[in-house]
Amino acid sequence: MKKTYLLTPGPTPIPENVLALSAKPILHHRTPQFVKLMEDVKVQLKYVFQTKNDVLLLASTGTGAMDAAVTNLFKKGDTVITLNAGKFGERWTKIAKAYGLNPVEIKVEPGQSVTVGQVEQALNKNPNTRGVLFQASETSTGVAMPTREICDLVRKRENCISVVDAITALGVFDLRMDEWGIDVLITGSQKALMLPPGLACISLSDKAWKWSESSDIPKFYFDLAKERKALAKGQTAWTPAVSIIIGLQETLKMIKDEGLENVFKRHETLARATRAGIKALGLEMLAKDSPSIAMTAVLVPSEIKDGKGIPKTMRDKYGVTIAGGQDELEGKIFRLTHFGYVDKFDILIGIGALELTLKDLGYTKFEFGAGTGAVLKALASS
Ligand SMILES: Cc1ncc(COP(=O)(O)O)c(C=O)c1O
C-alpha cells in the first residue's frame, strides 16, 4: 500500500467533506434549488474577492477567464503592457496577440519579479496603454508581483485598467480588489478554492465594465455581459459546472469560517516552514527577492544531474506529487506547494519525502532530519 499526497500548484487537495458532496445526485441548473445555491455563492465570493461587485462563474479553467478578460475588455489594436516573469505572464502576451492587441511585454529573468519602476517607465513610454496585465503570483517561478503598487499606478490613469491573474494568489494572500483598485481579478477552482478543475471566476470593477462597452473583439461563449445578466437571476449563461459550484459553496464556507486573515496567516506560516526546511538542506530558492507564499520553487543542486528525477522519485517511489520546472526551467527547479487544503503536517510530508529523494539521487550534503527538524522548529515558533 502506498498513500499518495498532492503538493502541486494545482490541482490542489480537495477537502473530504467536499469530495463527499460529489457523491450526491446532480442538481438541475434551471431550478429554484440552483438559484438558491448561486445566491449564497454570489455573496460568499464577494467576501473572498474583497469586492462589492459581482464575481462571474465560467465553466472553464483559469485560462478561459484570462481569454475572456482580453476579448471582453479591449479593442483590436489596443496597446496593453504584459508582465512576463514566467510562463503565465507569457500567456497574457500570447492571448493579447491572438486577438490582435498590441502587447508591450516587460520580460524579466526567471526568479525575478517585475518592479513598479519598470511598469511606470513602460506606462510613460506608452501613454496610450489601455491595460496592464499580470500575475499576482507567477506559478512557474514562485514569484510574487507588487500587485497593490502596480494597481495604484494604473488607477491614477483614466485610460488604463489593471487585469490581475490571481489564479495562485486569491485566497492565498491579501488582495483587496476594491480598496486597491484592482480592475479585473481572476482565479480558478483547482487552486486555493480547493476544488476540482473546471470553474473560473472573474470580477470586474465599474471602470472595467465601462471598458467592456467599447470592446470590438468577437466573442460568444465568454460574453461577460451575458454572464452578468444571468447572474442577476441566480443563473449562468450556459450550463454551469454544477458539481463544482456545489463544492464551492462548501469551500467558501470553510474560508469564511477560518476567516480570510487567518487563511493568509496559515499560508505565511506554511511558506516559512517550507523555506526553513529547504535552507536546512542546503538548497536555494529560485525567487530570491520576492517569493510568493503560494509555492516554493527550489533550484536543483548541482550534485544532481537529472533534475527531473526529483519530482519523479518523490511521486513514483514515495507517493508525493510535486511540480517540476516548465520550459526553460525543466530539470532546473522543482516546486513545493503550500496553499489550499494544506496544513502543517503536509509540509513535513513534503520535506520528509524530499530528504529521502535527495539521498536516493546522490545529494548527501545533509543529515536525515535536518529539513524536517527545521520545519518543526519553524512551526513550533509560529
Ligand atoms: C498563475 C497562473 N495563471 C494561469 C494558469 C492557467 O490556469 P488553467 O491551467 O486553470 O487554465 C495557471 C495554472 O496553473 C496559473 O498558475
DSSP string, 48-97: HHT-SS-EEEESS-HHHHHHHHHHHH--TT-EEEEEESSHHHHHHHHHHH
- What's the 327 CA to ligand 1 centre distance in angstroms? 15
1 pLDDT more than 90 = no
Q: Note the pLDDT tens digit of each residue in 45-101.
A: 999 999 999 999 999 999 999 999 999 999 999 999 999 999 999 999 999 999 999
DSSP string, 237-297: SS---HHHHHHHHHHHHHHHHH-HHHHHHHHHHHHHHHHHHHHHTT--BS--SSB-TTEEE
Q: Is the CB of 188 under 6 A from ligand 1?
A: yes
What's the CA gap between 35 and 105, in Å, rounded?
42
Can you give the pLDDT at residue 382?
87
- What's the 139 CA to ligand 1 centre distance in angstroms? 8
Looking up cell 456545489, which residue turns up? 246
For the chain, what is the mean pLDDT? 98
Calculate mean pLDDT across residues 346-350.
98
Instruction: Give this prediction's pTM.
Output: 0.98
Q: Is the CB of 88 under 6 A from ligand 1?
A: yes
Looking up cell 457523491, which residue turns up? 23
Check: CB of residue 286 under 8 Å from CB of residue 141. yes
**What sign has the CA pseudo-torsion 358, 315, 13, 189?**
positive
Ligand 1: atom nearest CA of 137 is 1
Q: Note the pLDDT tens digit of each residue in 131-171.
A: 999 999 999 999 999 999 999 999 999 999 999 999 999 99
Q: How far is CA 136 from CA 77, 150, 223, 242, 306, in A?
A: 25, 10, 24, 28, 31
Domains located in the chain, CATH noted: 16-257 (3.40.640.10), 259-380 (3.90.1150.10)
What's the CA gap between 187 and 368, in Å, rounded?
38
Q: Determine how β-strand 200-204 pairs with β-strand 55-58.
A: antiparallel
Q: Dihedrals φ, ψ of 63, to 5°?
A: -60, -30
Q: For a substitution probing ligand 1, which of 167, 187, 293 has the most ligand atoms within 8 Å of its CB?
A: 167
What would the grid cell of residue 124 be? 510613460
Q: Is the CB of 326 under 6 A from ligand 1?
A: no
Q: For a substitution probing ligand 1, which of 88, 94, 295, 329 has the most ligand atoms within 8 Å of its CB?
A: 88
- What's the 87 CA to ligand 1 centre distance in angstroms? 9
Residue 49, C-beta contacts closer than 8 angstroms, at least 6 positions apart: 55, 170, 177, 185, 201, 203
Nearest-CA neighbor of 6 among 368, 350, 380, 361? Answer: 350
Can you give the pLDDT at residue 189?
98
Q: How far is CA 112 from CA 79, 175, 192, 201, in A?
A: 24, 20, 23, 27
